[in-house]
Amino acid sequence: MTIFLAGLALFIGIHLFTGLARGPRAAIIGKIGAMPYKGLFSLITLAGLILLIYGWKQVGSGEPYYVLPDWVRYITYFCVWIALILTVAANLPAGKIASIAKHPMVLGMKLWAFGHLLANGDLRSVILFGAVLAWGVIDRIALKKRGDMGRPFKTGFGDVLAITIGTAGFAVILLWAHVYIAGVPLF
């Protein structure tokens, strides 16, 4: 559990730092530059992710604290599908999806975490998905307090790509990759 929690702390911690500690973040960027900062951010994120995945597999699922009806998995599938579309939309020229969602990556992460909390009631899942959901809520509040209202609409072409790539990614995860990502087959 220690490795799992350390990975989660690194992963969530660096994201909270970026969202909440704007002054210290700006000071670091001022000292080392934007690209080295992004590189450092990426390395810390990757280290957290590696520890998180390794720790996740070590901890095992354990006994569930709650079990929801089987049909709830369809809500999870829907949440993850929309989350993937939002995540792709966050990385394309701002279309309607990005401008309506305001911060599509944050909203996507919250949906992903919420969906997974519905489907998984074991301790490690509640910790992981609960922490990601909490981070998403905190980050969105911080963005709103800063007056960051997202990106304005530029083109609708990004929406077509976001839906296409997000849906294709969802199909790959649903039908094949989930067992390799999380160790749990969906079918």
Task: Dump pLDDT digits (tens) for 59-75.
Answer: 887 899 999 999 999 99
Read off the pLDDT of each residue in 83-96 and give the average, rounded to a whole number. 92
| Per-residue pLDDT band at 185 (split at 50, 70, 90) | confident
Backbone conformation region of residue 155, classed left if phi is above 0, alpha if psi is from -120 to 50, else beta: beta
**Residue 122, strand partner residues:** 64
Task: Dump pLDDT digits (tens) for 92-107.
Answer: 988 899 989 999 999 9
| Per-residue pLDDT band at 39 (split at 50, 70, 90) | very high
Q: Examine the domain organization and report whether 38 and 79 are in the same domain.
A: no
Query: Based on C-alpha coordinates, what's the Rg of the chain?
Result: 17
Q: Examine the domain organization and report whether 69 and 158 are in the same domain.
A: yes
Q: Examine the domain organization and report whether 141 and 162 are in the same domain.
A: yes
| Per-residue pLDDT band at 2 (split at 50, 70, 90) | very high
End-to-end CA distance of the chain: 28
Read off the pLDDT of each residue in 6-12 and give the average, rounded to a whole number. 97
Q: Examine the domain organization and report whether 73 and 121 are in the same domain.
A: yes
Domain containing residue 12: 1-59
Contact 101, 86 (CB under 8 A): yes
- Structural domain tally of the chain? 2
What's the rounded Cα separation, in Å, for the pair 53 and 8?
9
Averaged confidence pLDDT in the chain: 93
Q: Is 48 helix (H, G, I), strand (E, B) or coil?
A: helix
